[in-house]
Amino acid sequence: MIKEAIVDKLDIQYLTNSSNTFGIVDLGCSVGPNTFITVQNIIEAVDLKYKSQGLISPDFHVFFNDHTSNDFNTLFASLIQDPEKRRYFATGVPGSFHTRLFPKGTLHFVHSSYALHWLSRVPKEVVDINSPAYNKGRINCTNAPREVLEAYATQYAKDMEAFLHARAQEIVCGGLMVILVPAIPNATQPFPVSPRILFDLLGSCLLDMAKMGVVDEARIDSFNLPMYSTSTQELETLVERNGCFSVERMEIMSRPRLSNPQVYSDHIRAVTEGLIKQHFGSEILDELFDRYSKKLEDSLSIFKSGKATLLFVLLKRNTSIIDN
């Protein structure tokens, strides 16, 4: 789909600059190797496009971005060290993609996979005991009252606004942005499984442990995962509101779920362990994820019949509108 995007939607004439540099960023790159494979795919497709139009290949400047706490040492050690073989100039960019990270007009292709569903913070209302959005007994917004869902949605809208505003400055006119995020399914799709259900089950394991006296229930009430799964309609509205990008493609994809509960448990542990450790201490981790694996096994039928849904979005930076 990335290659298709480049073949069909990349208008090279808008992108040429005096130094013939093509800037690529992977936002939320983690430590590899997925980010290297993606970057390689992008470069091959762009290179082919330049060549097919009889143009000299640009110098590729590739920026790997993630939070400052990301292990950039590991990322850099995994890079192919010889720039000739690598075919691009590599740099690491620490910081939140909800803020500006690059000078104006530096980027030609932006990629972000499984990162934009992370919120910049937990909405403050959901941990405020006096708020109607106080999220008692849940760790996410699945099956939560309307107020909780709204608090999450409002935070997501704020974050996406900041994100799109920052990227609108950094991406050259005509530049492309590909976003991949877990999504809540459209009602028309058969057998969907919301990605939120996975976290819902994790929350219920914590509540079980509270009943056994292992975890303090009030600590669960104050724990919320800063994650939010959007829908096509919601994201489309946010892009329109920003006004600097056109939606070139937006597609819900689904794929069969894996049927191995241990794989899920390991995956969710990798994603949430840091946050859980910080809030509850590391002592509870092993028991929690043992319980989680068992609970997933009991719910196996849902997962086998359901499908994982993923949102693919291709945006193009407008050539006429400047957002300041």
Binding-site ranges for a copy of itself (CB under 8 A): 17-21, 58-61, 63, 68-69, 71-73, 76-77, 79, 81-83, 89-95, 99-106
Q: Within 13 A of 127's CA, how many CA atoms are on the CB side?
A: 12
Q: Are 249 and 164 within 8 A, CB to CB?
A: no
Q: Least distance from C-beta 272 to a copy of itself, angstroms?
A: 22
Q: Which residue has the tokens 């794989």?
A: 263
Q: Which is nearer to a copy of itself, 91 or 189 (by Cβ)?
A: 91
The least distance separating a copy of itself from the CB of residue 23, rounded to whole angstroms, comes to 9
Cβ of residue 63: shortest distance to a copy of itself, in angstroms? 6
Q: CB of 240: closest distance to a copy of itself in angstroms?
A: 27
Q: What tokens does 102 get?
A: 């690059």
Written as one letter, the residue type at 156 is Y
- 192: number of CA atoms within 13 Å, CB side? 16
**Closest among 62, 38, 57, 37 to 47, alpha carbons compared:** 57
In the bound state with a copy of itself, the residue whose beta carbon lies nearer, of 102 and 156, is 102
CB nearer to a copy of itself: pick between 70 and 155: 70
206 closest CA partner among 308, 122, 129, 136: 136
**CA–CA separation, 119 vs 124, rounded Å?**
12
- CA distances to 97, 133, 284 from 168, rounded to whole Å, are 12, 32, 43
As measured in angstroms, the least distance from the Cβ of 223 to a copy of itself is 25
The residue (of 58 and 192) whose beta carbon lies closer to a copy of itself is 58
Structure tokens at 39: 């970057």
Element (H, E) at 268: helix 261-280
CA distances from 286 to 164, 214, 228, 273 (A): 39, 12, 26, 10
Considering the complex, state which of residue 76 and residue 114 has its C-beta at the smaller distance from a copy of itself: 76
Least distance CB 35 / a copy of itself (angstroms)? 14
- The least distance separating a copy of itself from the CB of residue 195, rounded to whole angstroms, comes to 30
Q: Which is nearer to a copy of itself, 85 or 255 (CB)?
A: 85
Instruction: State which residue, 21 or 237, has the beta carbon closest to a copy of itself.
Output: 21
Q: Which residue has the tokens 């693919």?
A: 312
